[in-house]
């Protein structure tokens, strides 16, 4: 399948979607959002891990304001509901784990696109910025949801109000992302992390992601009930049987993802 604004590859169970508009720091045009949604829908059926990254020096600079036409007449509510929400759901509701490999600047909606992924790995030279208030807007693309959950209300409020850069190392220290790695090791670390997930127990990964994402909206009794139900599902899989057998035989498990 041919795309104009993204690069899509798939190898060894790892599907990679690279935003490919380096001349505008991979800004999110309407075409890019639609192509990305289409690619993710396909990879959901074929890959066992999905990596989202950028080409060039940036991960994603956010909404392409020039693509929006007459900026004074932009219907942001429509754009978010019709184009961003479906894309974000394809990431958060993916049947396989998602990794944001943040190779450079991640700004505005680009930062929050990364935060929607299950795991965020960033090069140490990368940075995150909630740039919205600089142009009179509020964080969108899930920013108001992810930020307070990941870094707490005080830091989320400061990040949104001051719109200052947060370095990759700072983001890792705050718990905004999983890890920041030296630039020279970034590609190798990302590949190793993706390879680990692609070879892992896919159904267990689905259950982990479902339980942890739901935990913010559940009380303890509800969380325990969800946990018990999901564990029962995992315990009935071939992956569980294989994992136990590998443990007893002191070998590496060969998970099938079913």
Do 92 and 110 share a domain, yes or no? Answer: yes
Question: Does 184 lie in the same domain as 84?
Answer: yes
Distance separating alpha carbons of residues 145 and 156, to the nearest angstrom: 10
**Residue where a domain stops, chosen among 164, 181, 198:** 198
Instruction: Indicate whether 150 and 33 sit together in one domain.
Output: yes
Tell me the DSSP string of the chain: ---SSEEEEEETTEEEEEE--GGGTT-B-HHHHHHHHHHHHHHTTT-SEEEEEESTTEEE--B-TGGGSSGGG--HHHHIIIIIHHHHHHHHT-SS-EEEEE-SEEETHHHHHHHTSSEEEEETT-EEE-GGGGGT----TTHHHHHHHHH-HHHHHHHHHH---EEHHHHHHHTSSSEEE-HHHHHHHHHHHHHHHHTS-HHHHHHHHHHHHHGGG--HHHHHHHHHHHHHHHHTSHHHHHHHHHHHHTS-------
Taking a C-beta distance cutoff of 8 angstroms, is the pair 130, 108 a contact? yes
Partners of residue 207 on adjacent β-strands: none
127 and 224, same domain (yes or no): no
Q: Report if residue 173 sits inside a domain.
A: yes
For residues 156 and 206, membership in a common domain is answered with no
Q: Quick one: 210 and 142 in the same domain?
A: no
Spatial distance between the Cα atoms of 218 and 198, rounded to a whole number of angstroms: 29
Residues 182 and 232 grouped into a single domain:
no
Q: Going by C-beta distance under 8 Å and a sequence separation of 6 or more, which residues neighbour residue 171? A: 120, 122, 128, 177, 180
Q: Indicate if 120 and 40 belong to the same structural domain.
A: yes
Instruction: Specify whether 63 is located in the same domain as 154.
Output: yes
Q: In this structure, is residue 158 part of a structural domain?
A: yes
CATH number of the domain that 54 lies in?
3.90.226.10
Please check whether residues 145 and 207 belong to one and the same domain.
Answer: no
Q: Are 230 and 192 contained in the same domain?
A: no
Structural domain including 82 reads 6-198
- Domain annotation covers residue 256: no
Total domain count, the chain:
2
Please report whether residue 258 resides in a domain.
no
We report the CATH number of the domain holding residue 215 as 1.10.12.10
Provide the whole-model pTM: 0.94
Q: Which of 174, 198, 222 is the last residue of a domain?
A: 198
Per-residue pLDDT tens listing for the chain (258 residues): 789 999 999 999 999 999 999 999 999 999 999 999 999 999 999 999 999 999 999 999 999 988 866 666 788 999 999 999 999 999 999 999 999 999 999 999 999 999 999 999 999 999 999 999 999 999 999 999 999 999 999 999 999 999 999 999 999 999 999 999 999 999 999 999 999 999 999 999 999 999 999 999 999 999 999 999 999 999 999 999 999 999 999 999 999 865
Q: Is residue 104 part of a domain?
A: yes
- Has residue 46 been placed in a domain? yes
Residues 57, 183 within the same domain: yes
């Amino acid at each position: 399948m041919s795309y104009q604004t993204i690069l899509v590859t798939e190898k060894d169970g790892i599907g990679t979607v690279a935003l490919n508009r380096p001349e505008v720091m991979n800004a999110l045009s309407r075409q890019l959002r639609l192509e990305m949604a289409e690619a993710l829908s396909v990879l959901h059926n074929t890959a066992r891990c999905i990596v989202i990254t950028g080409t060039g020096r940036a991960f994603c600079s956010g909404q392409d304001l020039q693509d929006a036409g007459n900026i004074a007449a932009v219907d942001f509510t429509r754009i978010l509901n019709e184009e961003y929400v479906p894309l974000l759901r394809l990431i958060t509701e993916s049947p396989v784990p998602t990794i944001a490999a943040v190779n450079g600047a991640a700004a505005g909606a680009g930062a929050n696109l990364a935060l929607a992924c299950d795991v965020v790995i960033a090069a140490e030279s990368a940075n995150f910025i909630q740039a919205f208030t600089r142009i009179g807007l509020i964080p969108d693309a899930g920013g108001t949801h992810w930020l307070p959950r990941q870094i707490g209300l005080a830091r989320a409020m400061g990040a949104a109000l001051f719109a200052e850069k947060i370095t990759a190392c700072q983001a890792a220290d705050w718990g905004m992302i999983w890890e920041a790695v030296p630039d020279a090791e970034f590609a190798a670390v990302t590949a190793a992390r993706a390879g680990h997930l692609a070879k892992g127990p896919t159904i267990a990964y689905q259950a982990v992601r479902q339980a942890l994402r739901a935990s913010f909206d559940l009380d303890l009794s509800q969380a325990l009930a969800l946990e018990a139900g999901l564990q029962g599902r995992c315990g009935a899989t071939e992956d569980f049987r294989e994992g136990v057998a590998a443990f007893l035989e002191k070998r590496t498990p060969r998970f099938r993802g079913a």
